[in-house]
Amino acid sequence: MSKEKFDYFIKGEKGKYEVVIGLEVHAQVSSKSKLFSGSSTKFGADPNNQVSLIDSAFPGMLPVINEECVKQAVRTGLGLNAKINNYSVFDRKNYFYADLPQGYQISQYKNPIVGEGKVLLDMPYGSKEIGIERLHLEQDAGKSIHDMDPSNTYVDLNRSGIALMEIVSKPDLRSPDEVNAYIKKLRSIMRYLGTCDGNMQEGSLRADVNVSVRKEGDKNFGTRCEIKNVNSIKFMQMAIEYEATRQVELIENGKEIDQETRLFDTKKNETRSMRSKEDAHDYRYFPDPDLLPLKLEQKLIDDLKISLPELPDKKKERFIKEYGLNAYEANILVSEKEISDYYEEVAKLSDKKLAATWMMGDLFAMLNDKGLDISKSPISAKNFAELVQSIKTGEISGRIAKEVFEIMVESGDNPKKIIESKGMKQQSDPKELEKMINEILSKNKDKVDQYKAGKEKLFGFFVGQVMKLSGGKANPQLTNEILKKLLKG
């Protein structure tokens, strides 16, 4: 694969600008109950049906840490190759809002549970390492609903108190494409770990995006703006593009960039100022006196480390080594745990390389077309492997295989059964083929003479005739061989 060169710059009148991006990703922890209460975290319940006295901050209620959430954060930290802190502290972040019942969010400020780590991205211009600054645990807030009533705001506290992991990257990202790759990689790692389902539609994964620009080659960072709570990769990319361009225009016009928090308006495709640095909240962080500092035994961390599943980077290496895939193929096949599981099941029963080609081609195209996850594929891995094997052994040709594939998608049937019942088996008997070819050659004597006189292009014509006569079932390789032999004679 040829390596491209990194080329994402905002072009101004006075030169090229590099875009510097850092992300604060909020990932909902996969857990049955909330971070500090026993309420369910299931998505889609009726409003205020998953709210305990703790989540709604009744007098005298106290938080108790959910150990499973702590373990999930540690697993995620380990998956990000990060330092796990044996000592971390929960702090209160104080501010008033109707969907924040306690009047503070319990978060981690100075002492997060996970410290520095890194994530590896595969970009067309090579692999790139993105630094992780930290990961901390915090409570989600509830939801204010402003459009149910003209004069009142309704509050749904189902989400109040659900555990989030805030994963803060270093300002190492340089383009919307890198942001796309980073989010997908994070999502992939967490889904492999089972620590976050990564469902962006349900709000399980959201991000605040920090953007600044600087002249190409500059060492110092420019003033950054934070774009709050963007909930899809596409919107993040659009927001970055808009924001970077806005900042370049300001600089070129000799204006200052204000450090501020901005909102992305998805309808108008623009970012708007939400509050300036001067208006920034003073959150009055202090350690939550209702909770003791979180002390993790090294053994717990070690045990979690041992029980981690194989992660995408490792699996990719193995796929290259074990299955003879190239980096590009391996990368795609490990991107989702379910895809890699499917592939491995297919590869066990069929030709590994051919399986990869067919999965990435026809199978993915079909899934994409139908908007299905691989877990919902109408073709089971076992049937798919049989199809691949039928191609490999020459039982059917690639062209016929496509037909079989279509029938499999519709019926979910076993390919052998389809081939059998529809008589789609490839004609690979040399005697039968020879008979058929001789028939064609004798019918087209003029063309045979022309071929022999040097018009070699006609070879294709003969192949076509064989296919036509055999109903597409003639083994192409054998056909070629026999044709060549007979035409020579």
Partner 1 sequence: MADITNQSLNEIIENVKTKKISSRELTKAYIKNIENAKKLNAFVTTTFDQALENAKQFDNKPNFDQLLPGIPLAVKDLFCTENTKTTAGSNILNNFIPSYESTVTKNLWGNGSFLLGKLNCDEFAMGSSNETSHYGNVINPVGDQLVPGGSSGGSSSALAADLTPATIGTDTGGSIRQPASFTGTVGLKPTYGLCSRWGIVAFASSLDQAGPMTKTIKDCAIMLESMSGFDEKDSTSINKKKEQYSKNLKDNIKGLKIGIPKEYRVDNMPKEIDELWEKGKNILKDLGAQLIDISLPHTKYALPTYYIVAPAEASSNLARYDGVRYGYRSKQGKDLIEMYEKTRSEGFGDEVKRRILIGTYVLSSGYYDAYYLKAQKVRQLIKKDFDDSFKKIDAILTPSTPSSAFKIGEKTNDPVSMYLNDIFTVPVNLAGLPALSLPAGVDKKGYPLGLQLIGKALDEQKILNIGYAFEKNCGFKNEIKKWWS
Helix (H) or strand (E) holding 53, with range, is none
Q: Kindly identify the residues of this chain, within the stretch 187-246, that bind partner 1 according to CB under 8 A.
A: none
Cross-strand bridge partners of residue 421: none
The DSSP H or E segment spanning 180 is: helix 176-193
Q: Which one, of 236, 228, 223, 129, lies nearest residue 173 by Cα?
A: 129
Report which residue type is found at 436: M
Nearer to partner 1, 73 or 418 (CB): 73
| Distance, first Cα to last Cα, the chain | 43
Smallest gap from residue 84 Cβ to partner 1 (A): 21
Q: Are 101 and 142 in contact (CB under 8 A)?
A: yes
Q: How far apart are CA 460 and CA 87, in angstroms?
A: 73
The correct pick among 125, 221, 286, 328 for binding partner 1 (CB under 8 A) is: 286
- Of 413-452, binders to partner 1 (CB under 8 A) are none
What is the C-alpha to C-alpha distance for residues 416 and 19, in angstroms, rounded to an integer? 54
Q: In the complex, what is the shortest distance from the CB of residue 33 to partner 1, in angstroms, rounded to a whole number?
A: 14
Q: Which of 49, 53, 216, 481 binds partner 1 (CB under 8 A)?
A: 53
Q: Among the candidate windows 54-62, 183-191, 266-274, 383-391, which touches partner 1 by CB under 8 A?
A: 54-62
Q: Kindly report the number of other CB atoms within 10 A of residue 209's CB atom.
A: 27
State in angstroms the smallest separation of the CB of 289 from partner 1: 4
C-alpha–C-alpha distance, residues 224 and 210, integer Å: 6
Q: Which is nearer to partner 1, 104 or 319 (CB)?
A: 104
CB of 294 to partner 1, least distance (A): 10
- Closer CB to partner 1, residue 106 or residue 474? 106
Rule CB under 8 A: say whether 354 interacts with partner 1.
Answer: no
Reading phi first (left if > 0) and then psi (alpha if -120 to 50, else beta), residue 187 is in alpha
Stretch that binds partner 1, among 12-20, 277-285, 438-446, 464-472 (CB under 8 A): 277-285
Q: Nearest-5° angle of CA 145, CA 150, CA 154? A: 25
Least distance (Å) between residue 137 CB and partner 1: 15
The helix (H) or strand (E) run that includes residue 11 is strand 10-12
Shortest Å, Cβ 69 to partner 1: 14
DSSP string, 270-286: EEEEEEESTT------E
Measured at the alpha carbon of residue 285, what is the angle toward residues 280 and 288, in degrees to the nearest 5?
150
Residue 420 buriedness (CB in 10 A; 0-12 / 13-18 / 19+): exposed
Strands of the 104-107 sheet, one edge to the other = 104-107, 91-94, 286-287
How far apart are the C-alpha atoms of 228 and 206, rounded to whole Å?
9
292 or 365, CB closer to partner 1?
292
Q: Looking at 116-224, which runs of residues are DSSP E strands?
A: 117-123, 126-139, 143-145, 154-156, 163-169, 205-215
Nearer to partner 1, 294 or 400 (CB): 294
The least CB distance from residue 61 to partner 1, in Å, is 8
Q: Does 365 bind partner 1 (CB under 8 A)?
A: no
Binding residue for partner 1, selected from 149, 278, 282, 410, defined by CB under 8 A:
282
The Cα 425–Cα 433 span in angstroms is 14
Nearer to partner 1, 166 or 288 (CB): 288
Name the one range near partner 1 by CB under 8 A: 215-223, 288-296, 441-449, 472-480.
288-296
Contact positions with partner 1 (CB under 8 A) in 58-97:
58-65, 92, 94, 96
The residue count for binding partner 1 (CB under 8 A) is 30
> Which one of 170-178, 208-216, 287-295, 467-475 is the stretch in contact with partner 1 (CB under 8 A)?
287-295
Contact 135, 122 (CB under 8 A): no
Stretch that binds partner 1, among 9-17, 49-57, 264-272, 385-393 (CB under 8 A): 49-57
**Nearest approach, Cβ of 271 to partner 1 (angstroms)?**
25
Shortest distance in whole angstroms from residue 206 CB to partner 1: 23
Q: How far is CA 155 from the centre of its chain?
A: 32
- Closest approach of Cβ 170 to partner 1, in Å? 24
**447-476 footprint of partner 1 as x/- string (CB under 8 A):** ------------------------------
Which residues in 117-156 contact partner 1 (CB under 8 A)? 153, 155
Q: Quick check: 9 and 17 in contact, CB under 8 A?
A: yes
Structure tokens at 488: 């020579």
The least CB distance from residue 96 to partner 1, in Å, is 6
Q: Out of 120, 123, 291, 349, which residue is the one contacting partner 1 (CB under 8 A)?
A: 291
101 makes contact with partner 1 (CB under 8 A):
yes
In whole angstroms, the minimum distance from the beta carbon of 152 to partner 1 comes to 11
Q: Which is nearer to partner 1, 101 or 198 (CB)?
A: 101
Cβ 63 to partner 1 shortest distance, Å: 7
Q: By three-state DSSP, how is residue 93 classified?
A: strand
- Pairing assessment for the beta strands 225-230 and 260-265 based on DSSP bridges: parallel
Q: Would you tell me which residues interact with partner 1 (CB under 8 A)? A: 53, 56-65, 92, 94, 96, 98, 101-104, 153, 155, 282, 284-286, 288-292
